[in-house]
Amino acid sequence: MSKLYSRVTDEMNYFEGKDPVALAKEYQTPLYVYNERILRQRCRDLKNMVKYPNFVVDYSAKANCNLAFLQIVKSEGLEVDAMSPGEIYVERQAGFAPEEIFYIGNNVSAEEMQYAIDAGVHISVDSLSQLEQFGQLAPGHEVAVRFNPGVGAGHHEKVVTAGKKTKFGIEPKYIPQVKELLKKYNLKLIGINQHIGSLFMTGEAFTASIGALFEIAKQFPGLKFIDMGGGFGIPYRKEEGEAPLDIKELGEAIDRAISAFVKEYGEQVTFRIEPGRYISAECSVILSRVHSVKQNHDKKYVGCDCGFNVLQRPIMYDSYHGIEVYRESEQPSKGTEAVTVVGNICESGDILAKDRVLPEIFKGDVLGILDAGAYGFTMASNYNNRLRPAEVLIRENGEVVLIRERETLDDLMRHMIPLNV
């Protein structure tokens, strides 16, 4: 048997002819499996979405910062953003030049800001006090400023990053103070940026926000770039036929807004977007082994080894991930049933899917947890002293390569210092 309930991955030829059960055996579970072809396709979708020539896609590496993954993104001609020295460091290792990295700090220490200055990357600050700190550290330097366009969007209140209820960005009413600080420290404002939030499936909020951002831009002549942010959604409910974001329509709307703006602005500007999820989510499936199936009061629980230490999104945001079932044995399922799929972490909230209708599942089955490439591994942890999983990549020629080793028990001890008791 093997692929028992696998319509979504079958349609995408996700495993490129490889057997997920064999992959689970060879590399053990839980396992992040990436598909290079799909990753490259998503990069190309976005690179080609806007016709205006000075258009750059900065991949937002917080969604997935694996070195090999970043190397592929780089080879597709994308640039990157960064949120921390750690991201800058890995991006440099992946081959990105300093000028291809846009560091978008939020409440960062002077030491961290200095790291970014020394690394030679473009830097954005998102408060007056951070702008003052930047001016003190690097007078006369180039800088970008993140504004809050007043319009937010996102799949959960925790990921809406513009509008009235967020810590991010500078309100446009403080533009005079921004100008004063730029003057005080002789700073050159080379760019402005925004990010309205994560995961929108229609373009209205994004289009409205870029309108607001372009109004702000008009108050700053001489900008080299305007970064419109990320947030482009993907359909997580694929089994139910959820439609993807219409990239073509959004691209056309962005092109219209850009042409109107450049006519008025009258100078050459580069326009950037910084999507993370759109590029990285759909090219990854987590393989997880079922270790127990049981009835507890009125619910049937399927217990697997994908706890929230491996995939945090369901517990953190009540996020939905499609689940497939793969089986080695020929034992057939007796129809479908609603089950609650849980992990192996010592908390009742460790739930991957509530009351999900799936074919009858047996101990030993392998589950495929879909669309796990964005905010999957990057949010994984060692909670319960569990080891973070391995990551493998199915190359375009079908070869499977390990791109991150599974942690070992020694890794858990690596930074601990025993007492002499």
Q: State the residues that interact with ligand LLP by CB under 6 A.
A: 60, 62-63, 81, 104, 159, 161, 195, 198-199, 229-232, 274-278, 313, 317, 374-375
Beta-strand pair 323-327/366-369: antiparallel
Shortest CA distance to 227 belongs to which of 127, 328, 80, 96?
80
Which residue, 80 or 400, has its beta carbon nearer to ligand LLP?
80
Q: Which of 43, 65, 306, 346 is catalytic?
A: 346
Q: What is the DSSP letter of 122?
A: E
Which residue carries 């990854």 as its tokens?
284
For the CB of residue 313, give the shortest distance to ligand LLP in the complex, in Å: 5
Annotation marks residue 346 as catalytic: yes
Question: What's the CA gap between 32 and 319, in Å, rounded?
Answer: 18
Contact 191, 223 (CB under 8 A): yes
Q: Are 357 and 336 in contact (CB under 8 A)?
A: yes
Residue with smaller CB distance to ligand LLP, 72 or 366: 72
Q: Looking at this protein, which amino acid is placed at residue 128? A: L
Least distance CB 354 / ligand LLP (angstroms): 18
Closer residue to ligand LLP (CB): 199 or 258: 199
Considering the complex, what minimum distance in angstroms separates the CB of residue 376 from ligand LLP?
8
Sequence-distant (≥ 6) Cβ neighbours of residue 287 within 8 angstroms: 20, 23, 24, 29, 30, 31, 33, 326, 366, 367, 368
Residue 393 CB, nearest approach to ligand LLP (Å): 20
DSSP 322-341: -EEEEESS-PPP-SEEEEEE
Residue number with CB closer to ligand LLP (182 or 316)? 316
284-296/366-369 β-pairing? antiparallel
Compare residues 242 and 337 and give the one whose CB is closer to ligand LLP. Answer: 242
Give 175 or 379: the residue with its C-beta nearer to ligand LLP.
379
| Min dist. Cβ of residue 375 to ligand LLP (A) | 3
Radius of gyration, CA atoms only, the chain:
23
DSSP assignment of 199-267, as one string? -BSSSHHHHHHHHHHHHHHTTSTT-SEEE----B---S-GGGTPPPP-HHHHHHHHHHHHHHHHHHH-S
Least Å distance between CB 126 and ligand LLP?
A: 9
Show which residues are catalytic: 346
